[in-house]
Structures are given as C-alpha cells and as structure tokens.
Amino acid sequence: MKYIVETAKSVEQAVADVEAACKANAFGVLYIHDLQQTMKNKGVDLANECKVLEICNPHKALAVLTADMSLNMALPCRISVYSENGQTKIGMIKPKAMLAAISDAPGLIKVAEEVEEATIAIIEQAK
C-alpha cells in the first residue's frame, strides 16, 4: 500500500525536485507541511526531517469527488520526503489501494489508477 524510494539527495533538494516534477505532471503543490518544525513548535523533538507535500490535479480531484463526495476526506494527495537512518526517502500511500479501501464507487478505480501512475512518475522523476 506504500510506495517509497530512496534518494541520494538531501530532503530540501528532494522536496524541490518533487515540486518541479509535480508541475511537469500537471499537479500543483498546495502546501508543504514541515512536520519536524511543527512538532518542535509544540515542544516535541522529532529527530528526522519530514516534509509532507499536499498535491492536487483538479481534474482528477473532480472525478474522485463526482464518484464519491465523501472522498473529500482523502484529498489532496500527499507525497512525503523524509530522512530515516541517514537516508532520504520519498513516499506516498498508493491512491488505488487507499481509495479502494474506503469506497466502492463505480469508475473510481480508473481515476485512482491514473492518479497512482502520475504520482509514481512524480516520485521517480524527483528521486
């Protein structure tokens, strides 16, 4: 259900490259959460860097919401860039598996497959 790759890049460089790959694949970056900084602001030290990018292709989002409006809770898509054991990783929850687990709406599988192909391409281009 997860798709994770390792990269020799720093977290910052990988984030920049994910942003560029999103643009090249007709996805926009809506927001980047800096989990490490957010937790630090709450008095909790997270040793690992972790940036979570909220990304969206509005046409794909519309198709998902048209199939099942309650799936607004699963949007937007998220790609994480983080460090673990000295290694930078880029990953996501696979959209097809996630959406299939929470909805059986007709037509959803096709759009989920399209989004999964695009988000895997984004990660591969960024690594």
Q: Which of 127, 98, 93 is nearest to 13 (CA)?
A: 127
Task: Average the pLDDT over each of 31-35, 105-109, 116-120 and give the range with the smallest value.
Answer: 105-109
Mind listing the domains of the chain with CATH numbers?
2-126 (3.30.310.70)
What average pLDDT does the chain have? 96
Q: How far apart are CA 79 and CA 19, in angstroms?
A: 10
Q: Is the pTM of this model over 0.85?
A: yes
Say yes or no to pLDDT of 107 above 90: no
AA letter at 63:
A
- In whole angstroms, how large is the CA radius of gyration of the chain? 15
Residues 95, 112 contacting (CB under 8 angstroms): yes
| pLDDT bucket at 47, cuts 50 / 70 / 90 | very high
Per-residue pLDDT tens over the stretch 69-88: 999 999 999 999 999 999 99
Average pLDDT, integer, range 50-64 = 97
How far from 43 is each of 21, 33, 46, 51, 65, CA to CA, in Å? 34, 17, 10, 18, 37
